[in-house]
A and B are shown apart, each in its own frame.
Chain A
Amino acid sequence: MTRREFLRAVGTFIVVAAALRWKTVVALAMKPRQAYPPLPSEVRRGIPGKKFVMVIDLAKCDGCRKCTQACQAMHFTPAPREWIKVYQMQDSPTAAPYWFPKPCFQCDNPPCTKVCPVDATFKRQDGIVLVDNERCIGCRFCMAACPYTARFFNWGNPSHTSEELATPYSPEYGFPRRMGTVEKCDFCPHLAREGKLPPCASVCPMGAIYFGDQNEDAVTNGQGETLRLSELLLDRAGYRYLEDLGTQPRVYYLPPKNRRYPAPPKVLEVSHAT
């Protein structure tokens, strides 16, 4: 075969292949620049000017666990893994029982990112702590370091839905998941970029979960109620769980005073709340 013949053969092959696959070629050429996933540098920096914060009103939470289900559906989280988990709490045998939804606290002094040997889990300017499963080496030091059991591990090969696999990976939503890597609640920054609430907040039928921006001093719940963060925390005596540990969580709780639902049954195991 001469050089000319070879080139002709290759050219013909390309033309024929392109003709057979013309749909793909056209789709590739017409494809708009995807907003998601954001560039890796944007993912690590965070959304400029924001300081995300969550407020959970324990007086409203009736333990229906819709937040957990919505979160699992959005992140394709396999049960029984719960990025936001609703605990049944009672601080002492004489204290009142209450429901306690617990996401990742996105601590401002995160014990998890401190210990990560490869910067796979990191703190962003907008206050969010994320995990990059393309970087994680699976040493699980962050899991041992987190006092809130907020982190989970893909021990085996995770099963994927086709919808999950069709999405390009981003640490901003954490899927498709990979074997041997850590994952956790991420405050859904990919939805925040669109000005949307995380599903846990938007589906809560009681409007117990408020999400917002500390810089704007505003938080909103799923029922569209927007409140001043500073006033809310002041009026309702907002507190952070295990403040003594010095982790500076970005999740605030409003004490379960004047509950709007029947109290949960008493718990056998007394929790270690402050």
Chain B
Amino acid sequence: MQPEQSADAAAEELLRSVRQTSRKGRLWIGSLVAVCSFGLFAYAIQLIHGLEVTAMREYVSWGLYIATFIFFIGISHAGTLISAILRVTHAEWRRPITRMAEAITVIALLVGAPMVIVDMGRPDRLLYVIRYGRLQSPILWDVLSIATYLTGSLLYLYVALIPDLARMRDQCTAIAGWRKRLYRILAIRWHDTPAQRAHLEKALGAMAVIIIPVAVSVHTVVSWVFGMTLRPGWHSTIFGPYFVVGAIFSGTAAIITAMAVFRRVYHLERYIALQQFRNLGSLLLTLSLLYMYFTLSEYLTSWYSAESIDVKLLKNLFDLHRYGFDFWVMAMLGLFIPTILLILPKTRTIIGITTASVLVNLGMWLKRYLIVVPTLQTPFLPVQGVPSSWIRYFPTWIEWSIVAGALAMFLLLFTLFSKLFPIVSIWETLEDTSDVPTT
């Protein structure tokens, strides 16, 4: 914060987005609702006719839905993990971005986890997973791990929100009655007493430590859904750490993208500045190099030892007539170009770093697709006498619509969250003790 600005004025500025919504904002929300509704319409068709309306068939029995599931669960790592790590290490510059990071986690989990239900042949039997659940199945590990992570992240988001909820209860008077009630109830009689502060800091400190291993476990068990099978390209010992690094990588990119958007739309230039972009940019660069390293280890070892089934997979993955083009688009746009943008001093600007982040997100989504689909097209037995639709795969409009709807739902929930609650943590930002100017 700039010294000439008083704390009250800053709080007022940060509350502005909560108090009013512009016409453009309403238009944005309206269009998101439209895309979501179309996604729901497509899902209704799928519910009536079954998964037949997708392009998935006997060989490619998982596709866009599962890739999107991994993508969203990956994005969810951003938040809580990074906010927790930065809190534990007392990085002062984290203060204006922790809230949006934590919100990304909760919203990505809320949107990502149902992608598995969308993929289910019998969503009506969803509760069988609890009724007949078998702990031997990696799906149960996913259910337990993701449920724990969602609960933990929700609590973590909420606890850090309490002082701001109390502020809104006290200062926002010209709002709808239901919102007043909401803030009053959620603020659970917070009056900012020293004792309450001490409790809050203690709770947040403890939760920040606990949430880190939970977050690591989530993407580890997601990877094990693949790693525990006998299929080429999945049956890999590095899949756990490979997925965790990929998740933090795409998650960090998601935070940077969200920072850039909110900074511009809500005029937060005073709070979110080059420093935050540079610091997260360095983290993104590290993770990008790590992800390249993992990708190289993964494919180089199977290419060099050249087991016949692995060679078959690599041919499918790297042949330019099959997935080679997609793979190199992923590698160039999702890894090499972002890395260069993040290294060169000239492009280490807010625009450069944000561009790198958007590319990383697109690239990581494509990478998840390339993890799921080509392996399924590489069976041990030869593919003979089956319709080509069984082995080829390109998502149908139903699949694209549902995934677009999920993405719109993510943006919608994020927008609504920022309309209901301050997207920059007011109390944490005001508490900033660092002398380093952030602008």
Question: Interface on A for B, CB 8 Å cutoff?
Answer: 80-82, 85, 87-89, 102, 111, 114-120, 135-141, 143-145, 147-149, 151-157, 179-182, 242, 245, 247, 267, 269-272
Q: Decide: A135 and B121 in contact? CB cutoff 8 A.
A: no
Q: Decide: A156 and B50 in contact? CB cutoff 8 A.
A: yes
Q: Decide: B128 and A87 in contact? CB cutoff 8 A.
A: no
Chain B's closest residue to A92 (CB) is B308
Is residue B58 within 8 Å, beta carbon to beta carbon, of the partner chain?
Answer: yes
Q: Decide: A153 and B380 in contact? CB cutoff 8 A.
A: no
Q: Decide: A140 and B140 in contact? CB cutoff 8 A.
A: no
Q: Decide: A87 and B381 in contact? CB cutoff 8 A.
A: yes
- The one of B53, B61, B134, B383 in contact with A140, judged by C-beta atoms closer than 8 angstroms, is B61
CA distance A138 to B129 in the complex (A): 11
Question: Interface on B for A, CB 8 Å cutoff?
Answer: 49-54, 56-59, 61-62, 116, 119-122, 125-126, 128-129, 131-134, 136-140, 143, 225, 228-231, 308-309, 312, 376, 379-387
Q: Decide: A180 and B382 in contact? CB cutoff 8 A.
A: no
Q: Quick one: which of A114, A120, A139 has the most chain B CB within 10 A?
A: A139
Q: Decide: A245 and B230 in contact? CB cutoff 8 A.
A: yes
Q: Which residues of B contact A270 (CB under 8 A)?
A: 382
- The one of B126, B128, B137, B230 in contact with A141, judged by C-beta atoms closer than 8 angstroms, is B137
- The one of B50, B53, B59, B381 in contact with A272, judged by C-beta atoms closer than 8 angstroms, is B381
Q: With contacts A87-B382, A140-B121 known, is A153 near B137, CB below 8 A? A: no
CA distance A88 to B376 in the complex (A): 21
Q: Decide: A180 and B384 in contact? CB cutoff 8 A.
A: no
Q: With contacts A115-B139, A144-B376 known, is A153 near B121, CB below 8 A? A: yes
CA distance A41 to B129 in the complex (A): 20
Q: With contacts A111-B230, A155-B50 known, is A87 near B120, CB below 8 A? A: no
Chain B interface, >50% SS class: loop
Chain A's closest residue to B309 (CB) is A272
Chain A interface, >50% SS class: loop
Chain A nearest CB, measured from B139 CB (Å): 4
Q: Which residues of A contact B129 (CB under 8 A)?
A: 117-118, 137
- The one of A102, A116, A154 in contact with B50, judged by C-beta atoms closer than 8 angstroms, is A154
Q: Which residues of A contact B229 (CB under 8 A)?
A: 111, 115, 144-145
Q: Decide: A138 and B122 in contact? CB cutoff 8 A.
A: yes
Q: Decide: A272 and B308 in contact? CB cutoff 8 A.
A: yes
CA distance A239 to B83 in the complex (A): 56
Chain B nearest CB, measured from A47 CB (Å): 24
Q: With contacts A144-B229, A272-B312 known, is A118 near B52, CB below 8 A? A: no
Q: Decide: B312 and A136 in contact? CB cutoff 8 A.
A: no
Q: Decide: A117 and B381 in contact? CB cutoff 8 A.
A: no
Q: Decide: A135 and B128 in contact? CB cutoff 8 A.
A: yes
Q: Decide: B137 and A180 in contact? CB cutoff 8 A.
A: no
Q: Decide: A137 and B384 in contact? CB cutoff 8 A.
A: no
Q: Decide: B121 and A85 in contact? CB cutoff 8 A.
A: no
- The one of A117, A136, A145 in contact with B133, judged by C-beta atoms closer than 8 angstroms, is A117
Q: Decide: B385 and A180 in contact? CB cutoff 8 A.
A: no
Q: Which residues of A contact B54 (CB under 8 A)?
A: 155
Q: Which residues of B contact A245 (CB under 8 A)?
A: 230
Q: Decide: B230 and A145 in contact? CB cutoff 8 A.
A: yes
Report, nearest first, the 4 A-B pairs whose CB atoms are least far apart: A138-B121, A180-B121, A156-B52, A117-B139
Chain A nearest CB, measured from B142 CB (Å): 9
Q: Decide: A141 and B381 in contact? CB cutoff 8 A.
A: no
Q: Decide: B383 and A156 in contact? CB cutoff 8 A.
A: no
Q: Which residues of A contact B132 (CB under 8 A)?
A: 118-120, 135
CA distance A153 to B62 in the complex (A): 12
Q: Which residues of B contact A88 (CB under 8 A)?
A: 382, 384
Q: With contacts A115-B138, A136-B122 known, is A272 near B380, CB below 8 A? A: yes
Q: Which residues of B contact A148 (CB under 8 A)?
A: 380-381
- The one of A80, A138, A147, A181 in contact with B386, judged by C-beta atoms closer than 8 angstroms, is A80
- Other A-B pairs beyond A81-B58, A245-B230, A272-B312, 18, CB < 8 Å: A88-B382, A115-B139, A115-B228, A116-B134, A116-B137, A118-B125, A118-B134, A135-B125, A135-B128, A144-B376, A145-B229, A155-B50, A155-B57, A157-B52, A180-B122, A247-B230, A271-B382, A272-B382
Q: Which residues of A contact B230 (CB under 8 A)?
A: 111, 145, 147, 245, 247
Q: Quick one: which of A120, A137, A180, A242 has the most chain B CB within 10 A?
A: A137
Q: Which residues of A contact B120 (CB under 8 A)?
A: 137-139, 180
- The one of B52, B59, B131, B308 in contact with A149, judged by C-beta atoms closer than 8 angstroms, is B59
Q: With contacts A87-B384, A117-B140, A179-B50 known, is A144 near B61, CB below 8 A? A: yes
CA distance A115 to B138 in the complex (A): 6
Q: Decide: A139 and B139 in contact? CB cutoff 8 A.
A: yes
Chain A nearest CB, measured from B58 CB (Å): 6
Q: Which residues of A contact B51 (CB under 8 A)?
A: 138, 153, 155-156, 180
